[in-house]
Structure 1
């Protein structure tokens, strides 16, 4: 049996990540392995990788600038003030009941903010460097398992876009709609969220499992907040400037449909407000950019990986092999489609980039085995989402790690990727399978 280059490339990348090789290097080695195995020359692999990197340039720059903007918001003192108030309240009561109440509140607030970041205020992962680093001391005081935070945020970053047709969800569902159009299959846009209703319940079940598994206390080796630490005060002008910057970012991003110009609007308000001197603001801006720039580099590398995998022309071969293996067995065919979707998305790191690839293959194959349009939507949407929850190259895992690992106490693979992968993908496959069988 001939070895599939795409499958080998993804396996190599995942193994190297698990061995703690840098994610960017793992992606490059995986792409190199897959490209050479498919018969491409070394020059062809490198040139294809380099050319397709630019496809992610806009997103990478957006994340870097949003990271800088987030750092300026944090510099204004709002998050430190809120954290200080919470810690003071907790220490005043210092009871098990008050600590439990604060822990529940923190989880609920982070969950709501994560969900809103995908639709109502579509900043995606840019909120993470604003909120999470200042909260680490509080998490440690409460002995909160950071895997709980990573999975809660992971839920908020993925669940909304596969179900709600707003913000990033509108983009995701538009990609599915366009894919069906290119395959000359007529579907109604409004039916996409309906088809994804059953699969999305996999995330709800996964979230419940995550809370049960990771609610137990876990201790981290970080500096504790001192009892005598002074409460930070918040003056009116910084609050006004920060509010205006956030509002400007939201308005500009909405009208220009550009995260880059939205972030720039907010950053410029901070610089021209006279609130701080430019030297201090510049240092904080660079600090924030550095946090998110690494995510940008991974996204660029993932685009290069996707380009090489497309150039191998072996994704189609993978599906042809699937058809030969499954025959007329509908249930087995659906499971194999999910397996291929998982493999492809794990390698690319983005369900948004995966949908056009797998849809072009799954739509004709699904029609051949008798799947309805609604069932096909469920299969394609679920298969695309599978890799987002757990891929080392996904911004849905890179974002939480960027915030939780500021003090070096949170491992990207073991504490973010594996928990998200195990907790969400198994329920997703189960509910996605049910949807494909009944719709």
Structure 2
């Protein structure tokens, strides 16, 4: 039996928590632990140059890349040779979409969903339209917050080439049945592109077992620096030919990484993965992937308990609408208020030192389908470092604000 989750031990790693602020804005980006900042600084301050094996500076750059690919491969249970780094998940998705679109034309179809962040919608819509391919939509059921699986069956046809779906909604936390989507996708010979940006901070994600062909995340959503990662099956990436400079390598995954890589951010990403793997002390003989799975299971139990506390309180308040309704969801709560503007509530919470933003958070299609106004809703996100004292402060401030 694994030791209990020690949130107090984890909180000591975050200098930002010493500010006295309470952070419920993790879905937009987590706070940064000291070990990640130290890794970034050490890489920048040490001897560093372009990758190679002749000097210490070259070795340091090479090691940062190799170790980061290995770490993110463990995080996503993927092949290190399929791990692509970029400035953001959105940027990599645009690049991969343009590369895929070279294989599409009139008569081909691409499937996207109204549950997704626009970063996993617009790149596919724009590139499909540019080559004359058809875009088909999977609907969101506003009443349940669930992906409408019936519309998935109608959207996927023998002409489908790609299905892009989220592992978890960044707006309302809904976690669709990815295995069912993968089965339907592969039944017609299409590829599945999984946006796991909002899922990775709350569960151990696996490219190998999810059924996805490519899966992406943002390291800064899980305690790391600002960078994006997509892990794909190497045999899929080999079939894609992105635009690149003529002298740059055509090897996978480097053919997708334009220019010099951010070695310091890659070192920070490795440190973040190592910290996650050590959230719960485990057997010395366990692999890093096994330790990640143990840690993330403990994180999920901790976060869900805090989410239940918040939801129970909000559900008893008159005039509060909770939009996070799916049976399987992350600890992410979206609320609107009959007598209060969500933005005004967010500003009042900020005066209490509580970070809980309001908006639609680039989930454009979902916000439209739910009928949210331009201010969207108040999003309350629980993170691995959130504790009961944070929740007490939040509920107390909401009590004062909504009174």
**With structure 1 as the length reference, what TM-score do the two structures score?**
0.27
TM-score, with length taken from structure 2: 0.28
Give 1 or 2: higher strand fraction.
2
Relative contact order, higher structure (CA 8 A, sep 6+) = 1
* Larger Rg belongs to: 1
Greater fraction of residues in helix: 1
